[in-house]
Amino acid sequence: MTRQLKRILPLAFAFITAGALAMTKTGQPPSPIYYVASNGNDSFSGTLSAPNPSKSDGPFLTLQRAQQAVQAAKGHVAGPITVEVRGGTYYLSAPLNFTHADSGSAEQPITWEGFAGDPEPLISGGQPLTGWKSGGGGLWTLQLPGSFQNFEALYVNGVRHYRPTASSSYLKLNPVVLWAPATNCTEPYGTGYRCGDRFSFMPGALPAAFHQINDVEIVSFEDWTVSRMRLQSVDTTQSIAYLTGPVQTGVYFGFLAGHRYLVQNAKESFNRAGQWYLDRGTSPWTLGYRAVTSSENPNSETVVAPQQSQLLIAHNLQYVTFQNLQFGHDNYTVPAQGHPGSSGETTAPAALSFNQCSNVILSGVTVAHTQGWGVEFLGTAVAGAGNTMTNSQLYDLGAGGVRLGQLPGPNGSDSNVSQYNTVSNTLIYGGGRFLPGGEGTGIWIGSSHHNLVSHNDVHDFYNGAIEIGQTPSGATTYTHDNVVEYNLLYNLGQGVTSDMGCVHAASSHNVGNRILNNVCHDVTHDPAGYGGNGIYLDSNSQNIEVENNLVYRVSDTALFVNTDGLGHMINNNIFAYARQGMMRRGPTCPGGSFTGTHNIFVYDVASIQRVPGDWTCEGNCTAAFDLDSNIYWNTGGAAASFLTTTNGNTNRIAGKYSLAQWASEFGEDIHSANENPKFISAAYPADNYTLLNGSPAQAMGFQPFSTSTAGPPSSTLARHATAVPAAFPLQLLNPATDF
C-alpha cells in the first residue's frame, strides 16, 4: 500500500469508524457528499462545503482528490455518491482522467455537479497570464516561462482574440502556373501536375522572407474542407510557396483554381488592435498583445492561454452524471507538418472525450473556448446503452460541437460502435473558429446508430449544422435508425466554405434514418463556390424519411438528393426562397429514386428544378423521381414550369413543360397545384409560415405542423452567451433583397 493511499483511506472512511452517521438497513452508512473548493485542502475529509473555523477540516482542493475519495467509498456506502464543486476556476495541470474505477452503477450512480447557489465552476485547461509590460502605443508584452506549451488561441475576459491575418479578404491562387510541371512536382493529376505541399500565389502576394516562418500558417479554403498548414519557404521568382507537409489532394481538395487562402500568424502583420502574437523566435518566448482601447490594461483583466490538449478523457465510464459545470480552454495546435482538412474534421480532438462509455449524462454543462471539438461519444461499453447530453451549451468552438461515433473502421460492429445517444435541448453556436471546414460539424453522427438529436439550436457555423453518416468509398457503415428532429438550424456557411446543408446525410445503404420537424434557414455558401443547401441527402445515402421540415433562404437548393439517392421519402415539408433551385437531383446510378409528396414550394428568383441536375425522363420518369400532391407557388405570379434534361448531360435541358404537360406526359405531379399556399406572412422579416384557414395546401393533403417547437425551450435559451467574434471574412447575403 502506497503512502498516498494510506493517507487517503482513513479520511474516506472516517465517517464509518467514528460512528457519527446512521447505518442503513443494509448495514452500510449512507453515501457522503464530497466537496471541492478553491479554499480547500486535499488533506481534509472533503465532507464539509467550507473550511471549519479551526481550519482543521473542509472541502478538497482538487478534483483528482475527490476522484480518489469516490473510488474508495464505492461499495462501502449505500445510495448515490455526489461531488459538489464550489464556484471558481480550477486550472488543470493535466486532463481529468476517468476510467471504469470512477464508474457508478444503476444502484449507486455518481454525480459531479456545481454547488447550488454558487456561480458555475469553470474547469480550465488554460493558464492565466499576468505580469504584462507596456511597450507603448497599445502594445503589451509578456515573457513566458520555459515550461509553456505552444498555443494558438488567447482569451481576454472570456472573449477569443485572433492572431494576425495578412489581409482582410481572401487571397486567390495563381491559376496561370498552378499546374506547371516546372514546379518539379512529381504527383500527376489530370493533364498536369500538382503537389499538396506547395501552391502558386499571385505575384507580390507573399514576401520572400517571414520572421519565424514555420509559425506562419496558410489557411487553405478548399470546397467543404479547410486545411491549416505551416509555411516552409517562399520562392518569389516563381511565385511558389512551399509548406512543411501536404494537404489532402483530389477533385475537391488542395490548391485548385478557384480555391482561396489566408496568411495568418505573421509577425509582419501584427499591427491591429485586439491581435496577439507569440514570438517563439525569442528565448524565452515573448507574447505580444495589442490593446483594443487606449485604457485597456491586460494586468487588470483575465487573460488565459490554453495549455492542456484535452480537459476530460473517459474510458469505459458508466453511470456518471456531470451537471452545472463549465469546461474551457483546451489546446490543439497545428502539428509541424500542418493540419490537412478532412470531411467532418475527424482528426481534431475533443475537449471532453468519452470512449466506450454508457449511461454517462451531461446536463446543464457548458463547453466553450475549444480549439477542436467540444464533446465526443465514441463507442459504447454496453450494447444498447448510450449517453446523454441535454440542457447544455457549447460555443466558441475551434471545430465542431458534439461528435457521435467515428469513421467506419475495420473493427467496428453494430454492437460496439457509438449508439443510443441523445443530444437534446442544447445550444451549439460560434463553431469553426480554428478549423472551419467539415460537414455538419454542429452535431456529427459518424458510424453510429439509434441516436436522437432533438430540440437543439445550432447556428453561426462556417459549414453545415448536422451530419448523418460519413461514408468513405467502399466502407461498411453502421449509420442507421438515427432521428434528427425539432432542431433550429440557421446562419450557416456564411460565405466561408462551399457544399453544405442544414442537415447533410451520407449514411450509405442503411434504413431508419429520419429528418423530422426541423427549421432551417439562412445558409450561404462561398459566392465563388457552390452548395448552400437546406436538406442535403448526399452520395450513397438511402431510405431517409424527410418530413415536416421548414427550409427557407438558402443560397443554393432547398432540397438536394445527390448520387445514388435510393428510396428517400420527402413528405409534408415547406421549402421556400432558395436562390438557385427549389430542388436538385444529382447524377445517379440506375435505380436511384426519391418520392416527394404533399410538399409546399414557394420561390421567386429560383426555378423549381435546379440545373445542372439529373431530370432525365427517358423511359420511366417516375422510377427516378416521383412527385405528386405538391403545391408550387412563384410569388411573382409566374406559372409553374418544369423541365427535363438529356440523358447523360445534367446541364442540357431537353424540354420545358407546364404543370399540366408535366403531369400528362411524364406522370409527375398528377394531383399537384400551382396555387398560393396562403401563409400568414412568409416574407422576410416576418418569416411566418403558418397557413391561413382555407389554404389550398390543406385540401391537397398537407398536414400543418408547428414551427415554433423547433429548438430548445426558453430555459435553455436563457443560457445564451455573447456572440463569438468572426474568425474569417464573411460573405453574407441580404435577406431583404437577395431572396
Q: pLDDT per residue over 57-92, tens digit each? A: 999 999 999 999 999 999 899 899 999 999 999 999
Instruction: List, in order, residues 6 or more apart from 7 with CB less than 8 Å away.
Output: 43
Q: What is the CA radius of gyration of the chain?
A: 28
Residue 474 binned pLDDT confidence (cut-offs 50, 70, 90): low
- Give the DSSP H or E segment for 355: strand 350-355
pTM of the prediction?
Answer: 0.94
Residue 250 binned pLDDT confidence (cut-offs 50, 70, 90): confident
Residue 22 binned pLDDT confidence (cut-offs 50, 70, 90): very low
Residue written as grid cell 415554433 = 708
Residue 27 binned pLDDT confidence (cut-offs 50, 70, 90): low
C-alpha cell recorded at residue 532: 448552400
CA 147 to chain centre: 32
pLDDT at 537 over 50: yes
pLDDT in tens, 331-359: 999 999 999 999 999 999 999 999 999 99
**If DSSP codes are grouped into helix, strand and coil, which group holds residue 737?**
coil
Return the minimum-mean-pLDDT range out of 280-284, 332-336, 717-721: 717-721
Residue 1 binned pLDDT confidence (cut-offs 50, 70, 90): very low
pLDDT at 565 over 80: no
Query: Mean pLDDT, to the nearest integer, of 295-308?
Result: 97
CA–CA distance, 447 with 467 (Å, rounded to integer): 11
pLDDT in tens, 122-167: 999 999 999 999 999 999 999 999 999 999 999 999 999 999 999 9
pLDDT at 18 over 50: no
Which of these, 389, 349, 226, 273, lies nearest to 716 by C-alpha position?
A: 389
CA 609 to chain centre: 30
Return the minimum-mean-pLDDT range out of 291-305, 407-421, 713-727: 713-727
Which of these, 504, 518, 490, 507, lies nearest to 440 by C-alpha position?
A: 504
CA–CA distance, 297 with 542 (Å, rounded to integer): 57
CA–CA distance, 305 with 328 (Å, rounded to integer): 11
pLDDT in tens, 647-686: 888 899 999 999 999 999 999 999 999 999 999 999 999 9
